[in-house]
Structure 1
Amino acid sequence: MKLSFEYGHGLMDAELPDNTDVFIPGETIPDPPHLPEDLIEEMTLKSIRNPIGMPPLPELVKKGSKVTIIFPDRVKGGEQETAHRKVSIKLILQELYSVGVEKKDILFICSNGLHRKNTEREIRNILGKDIYHEFWFSNQIINHDSEDYENLVDLGSTESGDPVIMNKYVYDSDIAILIGHTQGNPYGGYSGGYKHCATGITHWKSIASHHVPKVMHRQDFVPVSTKSLMRTKFDEIGEHMEKCMGKKFFCCDAVLDTKSRQIEINSGYAKEMQPLSWETANKRTFVPFAEKKYDVLVFGMPQSFHYGDGMGTNPIMLMQAISAQVVRHRRIMSDNCVIICSSICNGNFHAENWPYLEELYDMFQKDSMNTLPDLNRYGQYFATNEEYIRKYRYGYAYHPFHGFSMISSAHIAEKQTAAVYLVGAEQPGYARGMGLKTRATFEEALEDAKRKFVGENPNILALPKAFKTAAVHLMMKDEEFNGEELHHHHH
């Protein structure tokens, strides 16, 4: 069977055995129905006016109230006219204005966390031109800056001992509104809810309490679940912020489908709203598909996706991307599963985005660095590098500590597979330097894997569009996910 997989700016063909199974999110098994376009506004407003576990906005604000509206960066969430951010923010503004809140007292904050700050154009695409024009020119739309110490506040630690340092504009406001989305995420199950504030408006020291090996290399992290220690830490950090602020976040989260369309909208108190969002999201995200365990997963990566241009060529970012697939799909992989992935891997680190990753990669090649966690001890050293910090603050680069969450994730592919083959690398040495096997084509890689790892007749799963769609978490057909754990139905 002939299939095509992402590769650079184009595709690479593969001739795979005829009994290969194929999964494409939203197509192979359809998503739950999304809201019809003409009902989106109505359903969003209904949710905003009937929040779960807290009073509606008009009872929480009045004339003179200071409001922060926190929205996720461009990494996910859709930019179509009916995208959740555009619709919900417009309606929320109407609710605020209806009780006398003044435009001058509203501040929009892009919750980029340690991601790179979003450019003016990206913010316009996220918020739509109306909101952009209303607030941009009066300096009322900003990016979170986790190194701007004048505008951060240190809230001590959670009971687990995790530091909480947060955005001071949010802390000082009378109400903080979190616009999020509930979409499958390898880090803690889902985006949205408390994950949004715990990662988006904090500081590297807060992130260093959960995006690190001691949390990400635990058994509860793979396969992905909403019960991992990482998720618990997100919730603890978010609840600690609420306790210190003396107010609850007002969340407005949409459960999104493969094309970032709204399936359901939930608003209110994260602690009570998250579990309800997850009930619907589980139906789209945890997909009971596989009738057998797979020995080989095949997919490809474009040059640009998710974290930005160069993600599919930067050796550390491409490892993180491979690992994300493992975290999502581990339930359907056999114990000696092999991954075959295409990437042009041409030595393009895209230093504008990731100025520190080439240095990190070079360190990994030396000084008794045998596995990626051996690099982790340099997290603080990189996180305090003034030049890299300046590039994050003023040069639209990722924060240097972000690389350490990437290497923590990147190690998972090695831990959980028998081998990873990278095919089509233009500079294969970069892939070998990350511990990957390199071959020119999918066919050659499969032949080698058969000889060494999976035998003559492996079960193969192809995942075309793995990085072009909002991913799912695949499960065995007889597994049922209820948020707590998996139940096997024996027939």
Structure 2
Amino acid sequence: MKLEFEYGQGTMSADLPDTADVFIPGITVPDPPCIPEDQLVAATRKSILHPIGMEPLSQLAKKGSKVVIVFPDRVKGGEQPTSHRKISIPIILEELYKAGVGKKDILLICSNGLHRKNTKEEIFNVLGADLFHEFWYSHQIINHDSEDYKHLVDLGTTDRGDPVLMNKYVYDSDVAILIGHTQGNPYGGYSGGYKHCATGITHWRSIASHHIPEVMHRKDFTPVSSHSLMRTKFDEIGQHMEKCMGKKFFCCDAVLDTKSRQIEINSGYAKEMQPISWKTADKRTYVNWAEKKYDVLVFGMPQSFHYGDGMGTNPIMMMQALSAQVIRHKRIMKDNCVILCSSTCNGYFHEELWPYIPELYRMFQKDHMNTLADMSRYAEYFATNQEYIRKYRYGNAFHPFHGFSMMTCGHIAEMNTSAIYIVGAQEPGIARAMGLKTRATFEEALVDAKKKFVGENPNILALPLTFKTAAVHLCMKGEGQ
């Protein structure tokens, strides 16, 4: 069969055996029905007015209350006119104004965490024109800055000993609102809930308690699970924040489908609301579809996706993307599984976004660096590099510790596959330097994989559009999650 897979700005064709299976999220197995557009406002308002496990905003807020509304950055997607941010925030503002809160006492914070700060144009796109014009020019929309120590507060550690530093605007507020997305995520099962505050409004030292090999290379991390140590740490950090603040976060989370449309809206206390959101999200995300385990996974990597332009060509970001597919789909992979992935791999690192990665890449080539995990000893050295921090704070670059999360994740692909072939690399030496094999075409890669790893009649799973859609977590038919 002829299939097209993402490759650079376009696609690359592959002629696969007719016995290959194909899975496309939201198409091969339809998502649960989303809320009709003409019912979205009513459904969101109903959720906000009847929160789970805590008082409604009409009781939490009053005249003079300082309110922060924390919303996800552009990495989490959803920029259509009916996106969750654009529907929920105006309803929340309406309730706050009814309670007597003044507009001047409201601050909107983009929870970019260690991601790059969102630009003015990106804030406009995720919030929409009305919200943007209402709050931007009065300086009431800001990005979180994890290196702005005047506006961070140190809350000590959780009972487990994990450090907790958080945004001081949120800590000092009378009402702290989190707008979140319950969408499948290889890091701890789902975005939203306590993951939102534990990663989006904190500091690299807090994130270094869970985005590290000791947590991400455990057996409870791959395949993805909402019951991993990482997820437990998210919950502990979020609840520690609430304990120190003396208030609960008011969460408003939307369970999203493949096209970032709302399936269900849940609001309230994260500890009680998360399990309810996950119950619905499980139906869309954990897809019990496979009738056999696969020897070969085939997919393509565009140049630009998720974290930004260059992710599909930057070698360390490529490794993270490869591993994300393994984390999601390990349940349906054989132990000797091989990946065939197209990527231009053309030497474009996009140093404006990831200024520290060329240095990381060079270091990985020497000094006894046998696996990406060996790089972790340099984490603090990079995370405290003042030039890289300046670029994060003032140049819309990712924080330097973010690269260590990417490398820790990137090693998971090597841990769980026999081989990974990068197909169509324009600078194949870059791929080989990451421990990957290279071939010019999918057909050549498959011939080599059959000869060396999977035999003449492998079970092949093709995953077109896997980086252009909200992914699922594939499971065996008839098995639990």
Which TM-score band applies after superposition, normalised by the shorter structure? over 0.9
* Partner residue in 2 for 1:430: 430
TM-score by length of 2: 1.00
Q: Is the 8 A contact 1:181 1:253 kept in 2?
A: yes
* Partner residue in 1 for 2:190: 190
Whole-angstrom CA distance in 2 between matches of 1:99 and 1:468: 41
Whole-angstrom CA distance in 2 between matches of 1:322 and 1:99: 48
Whole-angstrom CA distance in 2 between matches of 1:202 and 1:429: 37
* Partner residue in 2 for 1:106: 106
Aligned: 1:280 with 2:291: no
Aligned: 1:46 with 2:39: no
Provide Cα deviations, 1:27-82, integer angstroms capped at 9, x if missing partner: 00000000000000000000000000001001001000000000000001300110
Provide Cα deviations, 1:152-176, integer angstroms capped at 9, x if missing partner: 0000000110000000000000010
* Partner residue in 2 for 1:377: 377
**Which residue type is aligned with residue 370 of structure 1?**
N
* Partner residue in 2 for 1:253: 253
Paired residue secondary structure (1:19): coil
* Partner residue in 2 for 1:324: 324
Aligned: 1:314 with 2:314: yes
Provide Cα deviations, 1:350-406, integer angstroms capped at 9, x if missing partner: 000000001000000011100111100000000000000000000000000000000
* Partner residue in 2 for 1:485: none
Paired residue secondary structure (2:397): coil
* Partner residue in 2 for 1:363: 363
**Which residue type is aligned with residue 440 of structure 2?**
A
Whole-angstrom CA distance in 1 between matches of 2:234 and 2:390: 27
* Partner residue in 2 for 1:142: 142
Provide Cα deviations, 1:256-299, integer angstroms capped at 9, x if missing partner: 00000000000000000000000000000000010000000000
**Which residue type is aligned with residue 346 of structure 1?**
N
* Partner residue in 1 for 2:401: 401
Whole-angstrom CA distance in 1 between matches of 2:154 and 2:366: 37
Q: What's the offset of the Cα at 1:480? A: 2.4
Whole-angstrom CA distance in 1 between matches of 2:252 and 2:104: 22
Aligned: 1:77 with 2:77: yes
Paired residue secondary structure (1:155): strand
Paired residue secondary structure (2:6): strand
Whole-angstrom CA distance in 1 between matches of 2:161 and 2:44: 37
Whole-angstrom CA distance in 2 between matches of 1:285 and 1:47: 22
**Which residue type is aligned with residue 203 of structure 1?**
H
**Which residue type is aligned with residue 358 of structure 1?**
P
Q: Is the 8 A contact 1:77 1:181 kept in 2?
A: no
**Which residue type is aligned with residue 474 of structure 1?**
L
Q: Is the 8 A contact 1:77 1:84 kept in 2?
A: no
Aligned: 1:478 with 2:467: no
Paired residue secondary structure (2:243): helix
Q: What's the offset of the Cα at 1:414? A: 0.2
Whole-angstrom CA distance in 2 between matches of 1:273 and 1:180: 12
Whole-angstrom CA distance in 2 between matches of 1:437 and 1:159: 44
* Partner residue in 2 for 1:119: 119
Q: What's the offset of the Cα at 1:324? A: 0.1
Paired residue secondary structure (1:339): strand
Provide Cα deviations, 1:330-351, integer angstroms capped at 9, x if missing partner: 0000010000000000010000
Paired residue secondary structure (2:87): helix
**Which residue type is aligned with residue 110 of structure 1?**
C
Whole-angstrom CA distance in 1 between matches of 2:391 and 2:45: 40
Q: What's the offset of the Cα at 1:99? A: 1.2
Provide Cα deviations, 1:208-242, integer angstroms capped at 9, x if missing partner: 00000000000000000000000000000000000
Structure 1 stretches lacking a partner, 5+ long = 482-491
* Partner residue in 2 for 1:130: 130
Structure 2 stretches lacking a partner, 5+ long = none
* Partner residue in 2 for 1:410: 410
**Which residue type is aligned with residue 399 of structure 2?**
H
Whole-angstrom CA distance in 2 between matches of 1:292 and 1:248: 45
* Partner residue in 2 for 1:88: 88
Kindly report the root-mean-square deviation, in angstroms, between the aligned alpha carbons of the 2 structures: 0.4
Whole-angstrom CA distance in 1 between matches of 2:321 and 2:327: 10
Q: Is the 8 A contact 1:77 1:83 kept in 2?
A: no
Alignment length, in residue pairs?
481
* Partner residue in 2 for 1:212: 212
Q: What's the offset of the Cα at 1:83? A: 0.3
Whole-angstrom CA distance in 1 between matches of 2:358 and 2:476: 39
> What are the equivalent positions in structure 2 for 1:290-301 lying under 5 Å apart?
290-301=290-301
Provide Cα deviations, 1:379-438, integer angstroms capped at 9, x if missing partner: 000000000000000000000000000000000000000000000000011100100000
* Partner residue in 1 for 2:31: 31
Moved over 3 A (4+): none
* Partner residue in 2 for 1:489: none
* Partner residue in 2 for 1:335: 335
Aligned: 1:228 with 2:242: no
Whole-angstrom CA distance in 1 between matches of 2:301 and 2:289: 23
Q: Is the 8 A contact 1:188 1:224 kept in 2?
A: yes
Whole-angstrom CA distance in 1 between matches of 2:428 and 2:18: 29
Whole-angstrom CA distance in 2 between matches of 1:338 and 1:94: 53
**Which residue type is aligned with residue 265 of structure 1?**
I
Whole-angstrom CA distance in 1 between matches of 2:464 and 2:76: 19
> What are the equivalent positions in structure 2 for 1:442-481 lying under 5 Å apart?
442-481=442-481
Q: What's the offset of the Cα at 1:116? A: 0.1
Q: Is the 8 A contact 1:221 1:229 kept in 2?
A: yes
* Partner residue in 1 for 2:177: 177
Whole-angstrom CA distance in 2 between matches of 1:198 and 1:274: 14
Whole-angstrom CA distance in 2 between matches of 1:420 and 1:274: 36
Whole-angstrom CA distance in 1 between matches of 2:176 and 2:443: 53
* Partner residue in 2 for 1:354: 354
Paired residue secondary structure (2:74): coil
Aligned: 1:17 with 2:4: no
* Partner residue in 2 for 1:488: none
Q: What's the offset of the Cα at 1:478? A: 1.4
Q: What's the offset of the Cα at 1:123? A: 0.2
**Which residue type is aligned with residue 139 of structure 1?**
H
Paired residue secondary structure (2:76): coil
> What are the equivalent positions in structure 2 for 1:59-78 lying under 5 Å apart?
59-78=59-78
Identity over aligned pairs, percent: 78
Q: Is the 8 A contact 1:156 1:165 kept in 2?
A: yes
Paired residue secondary structure (1:480): coil
* Partner residue in 2 for 1:484: none
**Which residue type is aligned with residue 60 of structure 1?**
L
**Which residue type is aligned with residue 115 of structure 2?**
H
